[in-house]
Amino acid sequence: MKQSNQMWGGRFAEGPDAVMEAINASIGFDRRMAREDIEGSRAHAAMLAATGIVSDSDAQAIREGLLTVLSEIEGGTFEFSAALEDIHMNVEARLKEIVGEPAGRLHTGRSRNDQVATDFRLWVRGRIDLLDGLLAGLLGALVSQAEAGADWPMAGFTHLQVAQPVTWGHHMLAYAEMFARDRSRLADARARMNECPLGAAALAGTSFPIDRAMTAEALGFDRPCANSLDAVSDRDFALEFLSAASICAMHLSRLAEELVIWSTAQFRFVTLPDRWTTGSSIMPQKRNPDAAELLRAKVGRIFGANVALLTVMKGLPLAYSKDMQEDKEQVFDAADALELALRAMTGMVREMEANREPMREAAARGFSTATDLADWLVRELGLPFREAHHVTGALVAMAEAKGCDLPDLSLADMQGVHEGIDDGVFAVLGVENSVASRRCLGGTAPDQVRAQAALWRERLA
Ligand code: ARG
């Protein structure tokens, strides 16, 4: 017969069924929080000593023993046990082997419920800091592209149909805006999650005279959580992280999609370097944008994690339920996927080559300066915009019928549609003039792009 659990088995005559153990154990994944678990326990032990709840010598033994456990785990010599369920009990059991009796005093005034909530907050907080650094790197890469190509005309699209010429730099900085908002969303989530659950114990708090402010401060939290029931049953922090991660992943997938499109033979807007592409085993000419495609696909995991955790949490009564153990794998997986996606995107953006000529050619095709023509009619001939729109439409139809672009129409052809047109119109039909004219704040003009890029440099410094 299997022995009952050494941590909580007092009232149990026999140990768990093998399947019970398999469904119950979280050590297979929560070992990733070993460092946070030990950090939390060390802070708790120091507080127990400072408040006189355990002796200084016991606390000292515990704190040092925990460092030994950490070095065993990080050195790869620690033997994890599924019978001990989770990281919390694995660490404590090993601590007992190392320091003996004092180990049994560590769990005074706490529960695994506040312990796991603390560990997990620390872990997510650490990931936010890592991802923030990666996002800063991606922003830097986008700004570099924008600086290099601040005045390179490129086809701008709506409905993926050529719309108006824009500049390469302007397009790059559009993504800088998105990823900066992602940083700020993660920072918001971080600020809200930075409260310490320790001391909530199982759900009701503890009768020991603990000092919650002390542990909160030692662990870098702004303050202790105010309500013990909420402290152990809240997973909003993980959900906010997953929501922010989902939005960021969505942004990454949009840029990834553009890289896939731009690197086709039809577009040739960018060349992805060999380092970020793969070949085909049958078609020797191929250079496939696999990193961009996989990045586009990784998003599925991150959205999935968000929905999965929302579903786990929905309808749970207060306070802790074991359902909540299912929070971690989702968050770990999403964080890993986002980290990898950010690293891949940063590498590609840093090393991709923007191809000036194909971008310019595309910008000049598809009557992309039709709006400039309409604006010219308003400005120079005083036409109401609606009428100018109509006249321009007729000119586009004429060019289309002739199989040419707007600048290829003769002045006589144009005057046939509206007699007031003179040869001043040709100046606005060129893509360089078109982009240079869009000087309004936030517009695509090279001056604006340079000014924005300089602002980004300042913010990133
Ligand atoms: N492994 C558990 C989890 O991840 C730790 C908390 C266990 N608490 C309990 N009351 N059984 O949620």
Residue pLDDT, tens place only, 96-122 = 999 999 999 999 999 999 999 999 999
- Which residue's CA is the closest to the ligand 1 atom numbered 12? 325
Distance CA 440, CA 455 (A): 16
Pocket test for ligand 1, best of 122, 232, 322 (most atoms within 8 A of CB): 322
Residue pLDDT, tens place only, 370-387 = 999 999 999 999 999 999
- Please report the atom of ligand 1 found closest to the CA of residue 30: 4
pTM for the model stands at: 0.94
Residue pLDDT, tens place only, 387-434 = 999 999 999 999 999 999 999 999 999 999 999 999 999 989 999 999
Residue pLDDT, tens place only, 225-242 = 999 999 999 999 999 999
In which residue are the tokens 């890289």 written? Answer: 259
Q: Encoding tokens for residue 47? A: 């507080």
Answer yes or no: is pLDDT of 199 > 80: yes
Identify the active-site residue in 55, 280, 321, 410.
280
- Cα of 186 vs centre of ligand 1, distance in Å, is 26
- Which residue's CA is the closest to the ligand 1 atom numbered 1? 86
Mean pLDDT of 142-171: 97
- Please report the atom of ligand 1 found closest to the CA of residue 328: 4
**H or E stretch including 353?**
strand 353-354
Mean pLDDT of 280-306: 92
Query: CB of 360 within 8 A of CB of 154?
Result: yes
Query: In this predicted structure, what is the pLDDT of residue 284?
Result: 82
Torsion, CA 381, CA 383, CA 386, CA 387, rounded to 10: -90
Mean pLDDT of 134-160: 97
Query: In this predicted structure, what is the pLDDT of residue 353?
Result: 97
Alpha-carbon Rg for the chain, nearest whole angstrom, is: 31
Between residues 71 and 2, which one has the greater pLDDT? Answer: 71
Distance CA 141, CA 345 (A): 10
β-strands 195-196, 223-224: how paired?
A: parallel
Q: What angle do CA 152, 155, 157 make, to 5 degrees?
A: 140
Distance CA 450, CA 459 (A): 14
Between residues 4 and 390, which one has the greater pLDDT? Answer: 390
Q: What's the mean per-residue pLDDT of the chain?
A: 96
Answer yes or no: is pLDDT of 182 > 70: yes
Q: Encoding tokens for residue 301? A: 């995991």
Annotated catalytic, 390? no
Query: In this predicted structure, what is the pLDDT of residue 1?
Result: 57
- Please report the atom of ligand 1 found closest to the CA of residue 120: 4
Indicate if the alpha-carbon torsion angle 313, 316, 320, 323 is positive or negative: negative
Distance CA 390, CA 380 (A): 16
Annotated catalytic, 159? yes
Distance CA 289, CA 280 (A): 11
